Homo-oligomer: A and B are copies of this chain.
């Protein structure tokens, strides 16, 4: 039996999601902009999926723009203003590259990967128009205090009003990693924009959306037929949106029990590995951490060798985010939390998901212990 422990990289599409999408490939395939009844039905189904998606996050359907992937959603969010931008040291490359188009400040995080609302407040300048903080980190799983950051942002908005500073200030969160585990209600979080990724929540790849509250003026990146209220032109990915709505609905229907289940499995995985290797280092926040995530480093061994040793035992894990892993560069996240290079090099990111079972965890523990011991022996 193979054990997939890289759910943070991507998730398999849920069979129920695929089933929901199926009719829209070859049967209800019509262009939603066409005028005849079967196409109008497709338009309605598309809009209903958007509305269902919107209601899960407490938004209005008109505040949801479909995008092809979270990366596009993030790029679109960063296209809603001009001026200075505040973000953190541990964001996804899509956030960092988007921020680089502006003057920007990257706020530091603590050793557990948490950013302080206070530090965000200090970084906001009179010309700052955007604060972008990912709700949960993809590598170490640390969950950020978004609603507290929102309070800071609102306070500054109010003082700007008093001062007559007309620069808008928005709070964006990349929720790619949090969906299905965290509360993504936009009013409770207090965000103006949020990026959600179907491909990380058992939905289709290259399907995502940007929530942007009505007060945000997003400018389109892609021009053409004027779909998505002019914000994102192109014939709509009807099946994709239907799939995303279904994926989100499934994830939120089972959220409480799934978070408990994942946390139990993850805690058991962590406990067994820490017991076997007392010198191992678990990263991320002990409390504010995604239930799915275990980032663990085995000092003195080579994480990439661990990945390949585990692969040969049918256990699929990564050393970090899929993007960073691919480029073979050192993780900026681990640098930001102050991990030294040799420890960082011995890192594994183990991320659990819907199909992870206790039996799989046992198999993974056995394989990891075996492989780490081999590598420790080699390193002697």
CB within 8 Å of B: which residues of A?
2, 6, 9-15, 18, 25-27, 29-31, 33-39, 67-72, 74-75, 92-94, 97-98, 100-101, 199, 204-206, 221-227, 233-240, 304, 307-308, 310-311, 316-319, 322-323, 325-327
Question: Known interface pairs A18-B26, A35-B318, A93-B233. Does A226 touch B10 (Cβ–Cβ under 8 Å)?
Answer: no
Closest Cβ neighbor of A208 among chain B residues: B234
Interface centre among A14, A223, A239, A325 (most CB of B within 10 A): A223
Q: Give Cα distance in the complex from A150 to B269, angstroms.
A: 62
Closest Cβ neighbor of A22 among chain B residues: B18
Question: Known interface pairs A12-B29, A69-B68, A235-B69. Does A34 touch B224 (Cβ–Cβ under 8 Å)?
Answer: no
Q: Give Cα distance in the complex from A234 to B128, angstroms.
A: 27
In the complex, what's the smallest C-beta–C-beta distance from A33 to chain B, in angstroms?
Answer: 4
Q: Give Cα distance in the complex from A99 to B38, angstroms.
A: 34
In the complex, what's the smallest C-beta–C-beta distance from A180 to chain B, in angstroms?
Answer: 16
4 A-B pairs with the lowest CB-CB distances in the bound complex, closest first: A68-B68, A94-B224, A225-B323, A97-B223
Q: Are B206 and A234 in contact (CB under 8 A)?
A: yes
In the complex, what's the smallest C-beta–C-beta distance from A170 to chain B, in angstroms?
Answer: 19
Question: Known interface pairs A206-B237, A225-B71, A234-B69. Does A27 touch B39 (Cβ–Cβ under 8 Å)?
Answer: no
Q: Give Cα distance in the complex from A311 to B11, angstroms.
A: 41
Question: Known interface pairs A68-B68, A94-B225, A225-B93. Does A235 touch B75 (Cβ–Cβ under 8 Å)?
Answer: no
Question: Known interface pairs A316-B36, A325-B34. Does A206 touch B236 (Cβ–Cβ under 8 Å)?
Answer: yes
Copy number of this protein in the oligomer? 2
Q: Are B12 and A34 in contact (CB under 8 A)?
A: no
Q: Are B9 and A30 in contact (CB under 8 A)?
A: yes
Q: Are A235 and B93 in contact (CB under 8 A)?
A: no
In the complex, what's the smallest C-beta–C-beta distance from A26 to chain B, in angstroms?
Answer: 5
Q: Are A34 and B318 in contact (CB under 8 A)?
A: yes
Q: Are A29 and B9 in contact (CB under 8 A)?
A: no
Return the contact of A237 from the options B74, B94, B205 (Cβ within 8 A).
B205
25 chain-A/chain-B pairs, Cβ below 8 angstroms: A9-B33, A9-B34, A11-B29, A12-B25, A29-B205, A31-B322, A33-B322, A34-B326, A35-B318, A35-B325, A36-B316, A39-B316, A67-B68, A68-B69, A68-B237, A71-B234, A72-B222, A75-B222, A75-B223, A93-B233, A94-B234, A205-B238, A206-B234, A206-B240, A235-B322
Closest Cβ neighbor of A2 among chain B residues: B38
B residues near A323, Cβ cutoff 8 Å: 33, 224-227
Question: Known interface pairs A224-B94, A224-B97. Does A35 touch B307 (Cβ–Cβ under 8 Å)?
Answer: yes
B residues near A233, Cβ cutoff 8 Å: 71, 93-94, 97
Q: Are B36 and A307 in contact (CB under 8 A)?
A: yes
Q: Are A326 and B240 in contact (CB under 8 A)?
A: no
Q: Give Cα distance in the complex from A31 to B321, angstroms.
A: 10
Return the contact of A12 from the options B27, B36, B37 (Cβ within 8 A).
B27
B residues near A206, Cβ cutoff 8 Å: 68, 206, 234-237, 240
In the complex, what's the smallest C-beta–C-beta distance from A288 to chain B, in angstroms?
Answer: 25
